[in-house]
Amino acid sequence: MPRFRFHYFFRNIEGVWASVNPDDIDNKAGYNDDERTAGKLYSTTKINSEIGNRILELLYCDNCGTTFFGGSRSIGKKGTWELLPLSPKIEGIPEKTPGKLVDKRTYQEYG
């Protein structure tokens, strides 16, 4: 019989971003762990870390404990896409804020 896994995403702390590379950490601070799934944590959004890794929103599944990365989808050529820490719709910034409430984003906007 087929099995399905349902992830219930929960934002423990609003506004936590992390490097997608688990090795992107401060080794001097003692945060190195073989089971670590995210790199350096940030309290504000950035495009890239100090060593060039992408920074995305850090999400947590309350059901199974798995961590995930989330971001705004940017559709490229030939059906490719990438996740961005900010909305790809930048027309009119800074006068017009493209932000949307987290729970109002659609599958096409957020991945």
Confidence at residue 53, expressed as pLDDT on a 0 to 100 scale: 92
pLDDT tens digits, one per residue of 90-106 = 655 555 555 555 667 77
Rounded Cα gap, residues 81 and 31, in angstroms = 32
Q: What's the CA gap between 40 and 37, in Å, rounded?
A: 10
Query: At 79, is the pLDDT very low, low, confident or very high (cuts 50, 70, 90)?
Result: confident
Q: Which of 6-15, 29-38, 75-84 has the lowest mean pLDDT?
A: 6-15
Residues 6+ apart with CB under 8 A from 8: 61, 62, 63
**pLDDT-above-70 percentage for the chain:** 72
Question: Is 36's pLDDT higher than 60?
Answer: yes
What is this structure's pTM? 0.73
Task: Give the residue-averaged pLDDT of 74-88.
Answer: 80
Mean pLDDT in residue range 31-57: 86
pLDDT at 8 over 70: no
